[in-house]
A and B are shown apart, each in its own frame.
Chain A
Amino acid sequence: MQLNEELQAVLDGKKGAARQKVLKTMMRYGQLFGAENMVRVSGQYNHLVTSFGLKALAPVYNLLDRLIAESAVSEQKFSADPRPLDPNVPSSFLQNIIFNYFMYSKQDEYEEQLKKLGLLNKDAFTCTCYMDEVGNVPQEGEILSWSESSAVVYANSVSGARCNRNSGIIDLMGSILGYVPCFGLLTDEGRKAAWIVEIRTSKKPEAQLLGSAIGMKVMEDVPYIVGLDKWLCTLDEDAKTYLKDFGAATASNGAVGLYHVEGITPEAVRQGRELLKENVKTYVIDDAELERVYKSYPVIWKKKDATPKLCFMGCPHMSLNQLITWTKNVEQGLKTSGKKKVVIPTVFTAAPDVIKKFEQTEYASRLKATGVILSYICPLMYMNNPLSEKMPVITSSNKLRTYTSARYYTDDEILAQITGGALK
């Protein structure tokens, strides 16, 4: 691999043993994918997937201690995924014991490590760091060293930045070096689509269901999606919210790091079908295909018809316009059903900075009046333990469904259930 003088000095050990080892790691990682050189990270901020002081990840914290001890810390400030705990979210006495004493007992210690390594600020904990309110918004063409599958796929597809699907630790190492190996989604060739996905549905497809179908079909390939512009029209805030949820499902149900939507996402607007590789495969999605995918999801609740005890919305975290839309929807649903408050404990999750902005609007008190709880928590981290796993939890997040026992329903079905109304 070709190294410039700066990196050669690191490899020669002139910047310390820790940095030298970090570079060796990144070189070996890149060489596996044919990288011939390292490119400068040009994004302003980084984003890390690991936000949780999970006892099980002790080996990671030990590694970070080694880096901090040798001052091998991040050149960039960074945001990180959501915090795993929030006292506002309903939990039992036993769950609290498990959360605080068994699972996340290293949370405070880990957050101290993050501060030393370059955490942006005390509220920089969200999976949707790219929201304007949060401020970690990548620009088109910037090279990133991010992780968090839903953030990476958004940055690549919607922002037009360039980032591989980096793992936790590799994300930070790219930031420590200030360089990442050049391969895959960092290259023009790596951003070309191997699939053309034709949307032929009779109505706007559910974002999380469509993303799931595409993710499971194309896996890590790049899909070029046609026919979705009919429903999204332009890349406005609603479309960005749709693509946030869509992308998270492609990344978690498959391994998609970049998608192009004809007429909508920046590279597709500029380059159109020049983004297609030769001999692309075709996947047609109609109403029947979405129904097939929906019905294929296993329900792993012990009692399949159990009454839901909790509903999580916001994995990935909700946007400001999504919070406002859902406030109106819940109000309307309650009005129709004749109820005053949601009939299932319901938690909407969003970035701390988005919550602050939302609380400045009239909708905050209106949402509170419906009984919905607003939180910055990571629903996935809440769910991943034997006690929560046994709870019948519902969600319209296909990411949460994939990683936990939460049961997936469409947005309309969720609304009907939490407001005690009938499905339209």
Chain B
Amino acid sequence: MKKYQGRVVAPGTVTAEALVSHGGLNTLASFQKALQFGDKTATCGDQNNPDLYGKQMAGKALCLPRTIGSTTGGLVLYCACSMHRQPACMLFSEPIDSLAAAGAVLADVWLEDVQMPVVDSLGEEFLSYVKDGMKITVKENGTVEVE
């Protein structure tokens, strides 16, 4: 088991299976179809992301460097959370970008029955070590255990 220490963006604890994107997550391209057409597993629709395309994101520990693309990104994440189709947690190797931060904060402040822990600044080594299917545990203080 390896441990990584990051910064807490949205608090919470969770254990889930890792889903890894080595490139930036294009939030709109990834979630849009799932939100529009009732896909509760949130299958990734971003053709430009070979790591995630066609894979289920809901309930997974989504490990990524950052998010990219449209500035609808934050509200798309907020909607995914509100509709209970969000990843179990989002774990960023880099400092969080403004769009993902908006989604994380909006969900945490405005939604009462939803939890999506978000941790950033976990480092490059985290993203090179973690692989799809590994067991991830997020602690309240931003510690991330990978096994």
Contacts and interface: CB of A to CB of B under 8 A. Distances in A.
Given A28-B105, A63-B110, A165 B71 contact: yes
A220 B99 CA distance: 11
B70 A300 contact: no
Given A50-B75, A165-B71, A220-B97, A384 B109 contact: no
A59 B82 contact: yes
A24 interface: yes
Interface string A221-257: 0000000000000000000000000000001101100
B79 A59 contact: yes
B40 interface: no
Q: Determine the interface band of chain A, counting residues with CB < 8 A from chain B.
A: 35 or more
Contacts of B101: 29, 32-33
B23 to A, nearest CB: 9
A152 B98 CA distance: 13
B39 to A, nearest CB: 10
B117 to A, nearest CB: 15
Q: Determine the interface band of chain B, counting residues with CB < 8 A from chain A.
A: 35 or more
Contacts of B82: 59
Interface in B86-107: 96-99, 101-103, 105-106
Interface stretch (B29-37, B55-63, B127-135): B29-37
B47 A298 contact: yes
Contacts of B32: 56, 384, 403
A254 B24 CA distance: 8
B36 A405 contact: no
Given A29-B101, A60-B78, A167-B106, 11 more contacts: A28-B109, A32-B9, A49-B71, A49-B72, A56-B83, A148-B71, A166-B102, A167-B72, A168-B75, A255-B68, A298-B47
14 contacts: A50-B72, A56-B32, A60-B78, A149-B69, A165-B98, A166-B98, A167-B98, A168-B72, A254-B24, A255-B97, A300-B47, A386-B33, A402-B26, A403-B26
Interface of B: 9, 24, 26, 28-29, 32-33, 35-37, 47-48, 66-75, 78-79, 82-83, 96-99, 101-103, 105-106, 108-111
